[in-house]
Structure 1
Amino acid sequence: MNDYIVRATAADSQIRVFAATTAEMVETARQHHNTSPVATAALGRLLTAGAMMGSMMKNDSDVLTIQIRGDGPLGGITVTADSSANVKGYVNNPDVMLPAKNGKLDVGGAVGIGLLQVIKDMGLKEPYVGQTILVSSEIAEDLTYYFANSEQVPSSVGLGILMNHDNTVRRAGGFIIQLMPFASEDTISRLEQSLKNVTSVTELLDRGYTPEQLLQEIVGDLGLEIADTVPAKFYCDCSKEKVEKVVASIGKKDLREMIDDGEDIEVKCHFCDTAYNYTAEELKEIMKRSK
C-alpha cells in the first residue's frame, strides 16, 4: 500500500484524526494533466484533502466534490472523492508558472481571492452544499476555516507537497484533526500546544514520516488510537460511453454540423485528460439515441 489514509481518535475519542500519504496519487495527477510545479502543489493539496474528507463519509454511494474558484491565474480547482478515498481532479490552467514566494511555491498567488465550495451528495433529495471565502488561498487554512464556519467543527488542516528538481512529486500528504463537541478544555489546550510544535507538514513528510508518525507528532501524549487504514488513489471512472452523454448534450444543430463535416471529433475528460474519439458514423448513432 503506497498511498493510504490513517483514521484514528485521541483523548478517549474527544478528538478524531486523519492523516495521509499521497505522493503516488499526486504524481499520477501531475502526469495526467502535465501540471506546472505550482499547479501540481495546488491540485495535490486539494486531492489529499479530498481523499481524507471522502473517507469521512459513511456510504459507498456518497460522493464529495470540492471546488475552489479564485481570481488568480490558476482559474480554479475541482476535486471529487468517494468514501473509499478514490479521488480525481483538475485545475483550469495547468501550465501556470509563478516565481517562488519566500522560497516556496506560491499556491496562494496562483489561486487568488475567491470561494471554496464543498458539495456532499449522500443520496438525499438535495446535496449538502457549504461555501466559505478563501482566507489565505493556501488551501489548508481555507479548509480549516470551512470546517469551523460551514460545518461548525473546530478543525486543523495541514497539507504538504514537495517537488523534485525534475518537477516530479517527491512527497505529498497531510492531516485533518477535529474536536468532538464533548472535548474538554484541558484536551483542547493540550492539543493546541501540540499543534504549535508542528511548524511544517512538508518538512515532516520530507523526513520520511508515515501517516502514523505524523499523527503521533501532532497528538503528542493525548493517547492516539488507530482505528484503520484506507488505501487512497487517483482514479477516474470515465469511459467512452459516459463521455457520449456529454457529446449528446451539445444539441442536435451542433451535432448535425459535425456529422456534415465528416471529421472525427476528440473529447477529453476534464478529470483525467483521457481523449475519446468519435467518428461521423458514431455521431449519427449518438444523435439517433438522443431523440
Structure 2
Amino acid sequence: MSVLSWFFLGIGVFALAMLAVLQHGFGQAYNSRLFGVKIPSEETGSPVFQAIRKAYRRQGRRMLLVAAATCWVPVLFGRFPSLSFLYWIVWLFLFYYLAVLRPYIAANRSMAACKAESGWAALPGREPWEDDRYWKYGLFYCNPNDPSACVPGQVRNGMTFNLGSRKGRAGFIALCTVITAVLIGLCAFLMPIDFSTPRFSLAHGSVVVNYPVFGTSIPLANIESVSLTTAEPDTSYHTNGAGTSQWARGTFVHDGKKMTVFIYCGRPPYIKAMLKDGSAFYFNEKAPADTRSEYAHLRQALGWTAAG
C-alpha cells in the first residue's frame, strides 16, 4: 500500500478508537445521572438499570464491529484523497449515530420509563439543568427559563448548549456553521486537486503548468539544462504538494534540494529541467508520446531564448 493508504487506514483506526471511548463514556453514571436521567445514587447498580446498560453496550458494540469492518474502505480510494475524506465524514457521523447516539436514546427512554414507574419523577435538583424535563433524549438541554448559554452535559467533563436561550441557540448555530464551512472548504480544496489534470504550456517566455493550488510558472531564462529521463523523482517528502501511488504534484524535497513535480507515477519518460538556483522541475504526460512532444517544444523554445 502507498503512504497515503496507510495514512487513511491510520485515521480509521484512530476514529474507531474514539468511537469506542465515546460509547463507553456515554454509558457511565455521572452525578447521579445514567443515560441522561437523574436517579437516586444508590439505585444506579439495580438489576433493572444494569440490564438497560447491558443492552446499550450490546447494541453499541455490534455497531462498532460493523465500523471496524468498514474502516479500511478508504484505502480503495487511494488515488482520490477527496473521496477518502468524504467517506470519513459520512462514516464518522453515521457510526457516531449508530454506535453511540441511537443506543443512548433508546437507553434514555427505558430509564425515563423505569423512573416514572418507580415514583422518582420529582427528584429535587439544585440547578435548573438537573431537571429531566428539559433534556430532549437526555442529550439536548432546552430550558427557556434558564438564561445560561451553556450547562454541564450528561457526559463527564462535557458542556452543552442551552437551546432554550437565545445565546445558547446562537452558539449552537455558530458551531454547526463553522464545522459545515470547514468540511465544505476541505472538500472544495481537495476535489479540484483529484479531478484536474496539469496543463503544460509555453507562454510569455515561461514554462507554465496550470493546476489548482499547486500550479507554477518558470521563466525559460532560469532553466540551466533539460533532459528526458526514465528515472522517476523521489516524492516521499512534500512541502507544498500532494501525491498518491498514481501521481505527484507540487513542491517536494529530495536530498535537501527543492523539486517542482507534476508527474504520473510509473509512466516514463519524464522531462527533467535543472534550474539555475539548484532546484529541479519534473513533468510528464500520461501518454509517453505526448511527453516527448512537450520535451521537443521545450527544447525548441530554449533554443530561441538562450544560446546552446
* TM-score of the alignment, normalized to the shorter chain, above 0.5: no
Greater per-residue strand proportion: 1
Tell me: higher relative CO, structure 1 or 2? Use CA pairs within 8 A at least 6 residues apart: 1
Structure 1 length as normaliser, TM-score?
0.25
Which structure: larger Rg? 2
Structure 2 length as normaliser, TM-score?
0.24
